[in-house]
Amino acid sequence: MRLVRIVKWFVVSLACGGLLIPRNSLADNTSIQPLAVMTDVALTKGGILQGQLVDTTGLPVEGADVEVRSKSCVVGHGLTDEKGDFVVPELRGGVYQVVAAGKECIIRAWSPGTAPPVAQRGLLVVAGDLTVRGGAGQIFTNPWLLAFVAALAIGIPLSLDDSKTSSGP
């Protein structure tokens, strides 16, 4: 009877330990590239792309070169002013890659008067890495995991106490 309880406790502990292993440690080491998000932008009269370049804190980036590419060919460029604003003239409607301060984004530029209602009137480019990575201290932020650990903390001492009292004189 005691051997059965020990085996059950071992199996449950092994399953709990599996929950504590981070998922990425079980995955292979190939990097997964996130899908590019395409932004609809309305060009103004004359095929002008207007936008602003800011850093991750929201402050404008001054004096940065902004390149607009189509199929890896540069089709236009602009320079940001003190407010981070830039203008790239003479573009046609189509899909472009905008590169500024190391940041790349994909836009679908719409010719004047053809843009859908969801299209933005200008492009906002945020330079820098917006990725926030969690540390090892965040492993216990899952409420189910916390509840499970609490149940183990209560259940293990109770089961050990029951095994001592039920073993007899």
pLDDT single digits (tens) 62-120 = 999 999 999 989 999 999 999 999 999 999 999 999 999 988 999 999 999 999 999 99
Please give the Cα distance from 43 to 124 (Å, whole number). Answer: 14
Distance CA 49, CA 126 (A): 16
What rounded mean pLDDT belongs to the chain?
82
Is 48 or 146 the better-scoring residue by pLDDT?
A: 48
Q: At how many degrees (to 10) do helices 143-166 and 2-20 cross?
A: 170
- Residue 39 is predicted with a pLDDT of 93
What whole-number distance in Å separates Cα of residue 5 and Cα of residue 11?
10
143 pLDDT band, cuts 50/70/90, is confident
Domain spans, the chain: 38-126
Element (H, E) at 145: helix 143-166
CATH homologous superfamily of 38-126: Immunoglobulins (2.60.40.10)
pTM (2 d.p.): 0.59
